[in-house]
Amino acid sequence: MTERDQELNLRRRLSGLSRLPLLRGTRVEGEAERLEKQLERLKADTSDEAVWRSVELARHPDRPYTMDYVARFIDDWVELHGDRGRADDGALVTGLGSLDGRTIVLIGHQKGRDVKERLDRQFGMAYPEGYGKAMRVMEIAERFGFPVISLVDTPGAYPGVAAEQHGQGGAIARSQAEMARLTVPTVACIIGEGGSGGAVAIAVSDRVLMQENAIYSVITPEGCAAILWRDAGEAKKAAAAFKPDALHCLELGVIDGVVAEPAGGAQSDHDEAARLLRAALVECLEELEDTPGEELRRRRRAKFRGMGVFA
């Protein structure tokens, strides 16, 4: 690519970006200036290096996880365990709680902080039982009209023998199908790694947000490199090629908004990251709450059925 091609490419992207009716979720009081700055930086910086920085920050070991956010902005948290069939999957946490005064159902991946917890929670990679648990709490949400909040943070669904035998593919498909049937407001936010089927299984939502340094991708950079470059060491090149960062996902119409993070990344200030995320989630819920359930469902399906670029 010549320099001129690159410039043209960048200009095309920017014009696409400025047409978007966004950024929802970051449009919160006192944030306008920050947002401007953030946009300036994003505009100036769509390099391969920036993409890779997102990959690193999304996987940062100190990055806040689902339970860190629950502790900071969900009141009266009641965790619900088990899929009522076989197991309780620690990689996917579900529960009831109160957000800004309304009862919500929350579903989120949980990676684990120390070695023991990471092993117990399979590094946030859920078994079919995890998605079974998610579907069970979605049913509760539907029955009682509670909005569903999903916090996505997984390298992918668990790739093991038992997971396959218990029907990993079918579980991911049915979890998406359940989300496509709900008539309650649904909001998802990718808060770290949005890895493939394991992520989208709980992210078929009316509003899908991404934190500034989160990634959302069809395969891990290492997996992609191993297949297409036949060398997992080429992960950086792979990430640059398939562009899993928030800005590119926004440009491609895959997400509805980007949620700002504290300067330097969410890991540097959990409280501030939680404040920004909470504000974005509440704003989305307020936008959705007046729409009748049938209409929410119709629009949700139309949104996802319109995704893709083809000739």
The residues of the shown chain that bind other proteins, judged by CB under 8 A, are 9, 157, 159-161, 163-170, 172-174, 176-177, 179-181, 196-197, 200-201, 203-204, 216-219, 223-224, 227-229, 237-238, 241-244, 248-249, 252, 254, 300-301, 304-305, 307-311
Q: Which is nearer to other proteins, 159 or 264 (CB)?
A: 159
- What is the Cα–Cα distance from 66 to 150, expressed in whole angstroms? 9
Q: Which is nearer to other proteins, 70 or 219 (CB)?
A: 219
Q: Whole-number minimum distance, CB 77 to other proteins, in Å?
A: 28
Q: Which is nearer to other proteins, 28 or 57 (CB)?
A: 57
Q: Whole-number minimum distance, CB 249 to other proteins, in Å?
A: 6
Q: Which is nearer to other proteins, 46 or 95 (CB)?
A: 46
Q: Whole-number minimum distance, CB 197 to other proteins, in Å?
A: 4
Q: Whole-number minimum distance, CB 100 to other proteins, in Å?
A: 27
Q: Do residues 117 and 61 make contact, with C-beta atoms less than 8 angstroms apart?
A: no
> What contacts 24+ positions apart, CB below 8 Å, involve 93-98?
93/66, 93/67, 94/133, 94/134, 94/136, 94/137, 95/70, 95/137, 96/137, 96/140, 96/146, 97/70, 98/74
Q: Whole-number minimum distance, CB 74 to other proteins, in Å?
A: 26
Q: Which is nearer to other proteins, 160 or 293 (CB)?
A: 160
